[in-house]
Amino acid sequence: MSVTDEYLNNNEGFAGSFTGPLSLAPARHMAVVTCMDARMNIFAILGLHEGDAHVIRNAGGVVTDDTIRSLAISQRLLGTRQIMVIHHTDCGMLTFTDDVFKREIEEETGLRPWWAPESFPDLEDDVRQSIRRIEVNPFLPCTADVRGFVFDVATGRLTEVK
Amino acid sequence: MSVTDEYLNNNEGFAGSFTGPLSLAPARHMAVVTCMDARMNIFAILGLHEGDAHVIRNAGGVVTDDTIRSLAISQRLLGTRQIMVIHHTDCGMLTFTDDVFKREIEEETGLRPWWAPESFPDLEDDVRQSIRRIEVNPFLPCTADVRGFVFDVATGRLTEVK
């Protein structure tokens, strides 16, 4: 059985005890921006309930134009007002540089990516960078309550970045 | 107590029973691309275990340059080989058009977004569009095992899009 089919099989069990639809707009008016990392079960880490908060995830949990697109829709159409930005220890984004990653792809494919890979050398600095990108963005109406954190994959604990 | 502080408080409990670090690379070589929707607890829906799969989420679960950036890092640096694309019923992306959303922002801020909001009128068509964007992308080495689904927020069930 493929991994996808195994997950579909798991979903049969999930649907069997599913308790029905919730509202589209997040009940707690929260949007979480975090990394795609496989170890981060955000619902468990934050004690989220289904329906509470938007969850936006990409490589690094960095704020790109696509993150801004998602946050603009989240705030303007679905009423979120607060943002948590969460990076984590042992992140893959700490292990390479944009220049090398782009050069390797160009050497293999003949095409240089037109997007920045968004690697970063320092976790806390990049949390601050992500928050700053949100704060100065002209398309987001609610930037007063944005807080940043590092999740420790060894302890499960969040530490706020000031 | 703010919502953020409540979630930090929840995290104290989570960390108290945390069982320690897993590997950086996803154990099941899977990357899931899905919507930021607050009702979608992807770990529960798919029966994922921590460490299994990358989870990439944005407004709609659409494939943008940032999704490709995340998938390129996922496949090239962290060894994922399969992709599940999951949209869902009652999605906010079905409720507006790009033109109106961009015009409203321009009227309010004086700036027209330079990114497409990526609204879509048909769920299954947009799942196919997202898969197609992955299949033709030159930066992704593994595009043979990409499957698309719609999650029904009323029943909890995934249905494959062919």
Sketch the domain layout of chain B as residue ranges: 23-161
- Please list, in sequence order, all residues whose beta carbon lies within 8 angstroms of the beta carbon of residue B101, skipping any fewer than 6 positions away: A73, A76, A77, B117, B119
Mean pLDDT taken over chain B: 97
Q: Which CATH class is domain B23-161?
A: alpha beta
Q: Residues of chain A with pLDDT > 70: what percent?
A: 100
Q: Of B14, B90, B109, which has the smallest distance from its Cβ to A156's Cβ?
A: B14
pLDDT band at residue B83 using 50, 70 and 90 as cut-offs: very high
Chains A, B: CB contacts within 8 A come to 253
Q: Which two structure tokens, joined as six digits, stand for A15? A: 């649907």
Predicted confidence at residue B20, as pLDDT, reads: 81
Contact A4 B147 (CB under 8 A): yes
Q: Of A47, A76, A153, which has the smallest distance from its Cβ to B10's Cβ?
A: A47
pLDDT band at residue B130 using 50, 70 and 90 as cut-offs: very high
B87 marked as binding residue: no
B95 vs A77, A78, B101, B118, CA distance in Å?
9, 11, 10, 12
Contact B24 A41 (CB under 8 A): no
pLDDT digit string, tens, across residues A17-52: 999 899 999 999 999 999 999 999 999 999 999 999
Q: What angle do CA A29, B108, A73 make, to 5 degrees?
A: 35
Measured torsion, CA atoms of residues A15, A19, A24, A25, in degrees rounded to the nearest 10: -130
ipTM above 0.95, yes or no: yes
- How confident is the model over B131-137, as a mean pLDDT? 98
Contact B29 A111 (CB under 8 A): no
Predicted confidence at residue A20, as pLDDT, reads: 81
